[in-house]
Amino acid sequence: MWKRNLLFALVAAAGLLALAGSLAPTRPPLPRDGAPLAAQQDVAFRTTLTRLNQAFREAWQQAGIKPAPRADELTVIRRLSLALEGTIPSLEELRQFEERPAQDRLNWWLAGIFADVRHHDYLAERLARAYVGTKGGPFVLYRRRRFVSWLADELAANRPYDQLVRRLIASNGLWTSTPAVNFLTVTIVPDNEQGVNERELAARVARAFLAKRIDCAECHDHPFDRWKQADFEGLAAFFGQAENSLRGIQDDPKAVFEVEEPETKSRRRVEPRVPYRAELVPAEGTLRERLAGWVTHPQNKEFSRAIVNRVWNLMFGRPLVEPVDDVRLDQQVLPAMDILAEDFAQHGFNLRRLILLIAASEVFQLDSRSDPADPAHQITPEHEALWAVFPITRLRPEQVVGAISQASRLETISSQSHILVKLKRLADQQGFLQRYGDAGEEELEPHGGTIPQRLLMMNGEIVRDNTRENLLANAATQIAVLASKPQRAVETAFLCVLTRRPTPEEFEHFSARLRQGDGNMAARMEDLYWALFNCSEFSWNH
Buried b (16+ CB within 10 A) or exposed e, 236-258: bbbbbbbbbeeebbbbeeeeebe
How far, in Å, CA of 30 to CA of 32, rounded?
A: 6
How far, in Å, CA of 341 to CA of 55, rounded?
A: 14
How far, in Å, CA of 340 to CA of 346, rounded?
A: 10
Q: What is the pTM of this model?
A: 0.89
Which residues make Cβ contacts (< 8 Å) with residue 497, sequence separation at least 6? 403, 407, 529, 532, 533, 538
How far, in Å, CA of 532 to CA of 339, rounded?
A: 40
Q: Which residues of the chain have pLDDT under 70?
A: 1-41, 191-194, 217-225, 439-449, 517-519
How far, in Å, CA of 199 to CA of 234, rounded?
A: 10
Domain boundaries, the chain: 6-30+71-112+392-541, 138-295, 299-348
According to the model, what pLDDT value does residue 12 have? 47
Distances (CA, A) of 494 to 465, 466, 500, 530: 19, 15, 6, 12
Whose CA is closest to 395, among 535, 204, 217, 190?
535
Chain-centre distance for alpha carbon 184: 24
How far, in Å, CA of 183 to CA of 407, rounded?
A: 36
Distances (CA, A) of 490 to 209, 410, 479, 503: 47, 14, 9, 11
For residue 509, what is the enclosing H or E element?
A: helix 504-515
Q: What are phi and psi of 107, to 5 degrees?
A: -60, -40
According to the model, what pLDDT value does residue 40 have? 61
Which residues make Cβ contacts (< 8 Å) with residue 299, sequence separation at least 6? 277, 280, 345
According to the model, what pLDDT value does residue 37 have? 57
Q: Are the C-beta atoms of residues 349 and 301 closer than 8 Å to each other?
A: no
Type of residue at 519: G
The number of C-alpha atoms within 13 Å of 282 and in the hemisphere containing its C-beta is 17
According to the model, what pLDDT value does residue 195 have? 81
According to the model, what pLDDT value does residue 222 have? 64
Q: What are phi and psi of 87, to 5 degrees?
A: -150, 180
How far, in Å, CA of 414 to CA of 416, rounded?
A: 5
User: Coil, strand or helix: which one is 212?
Assistant: coil
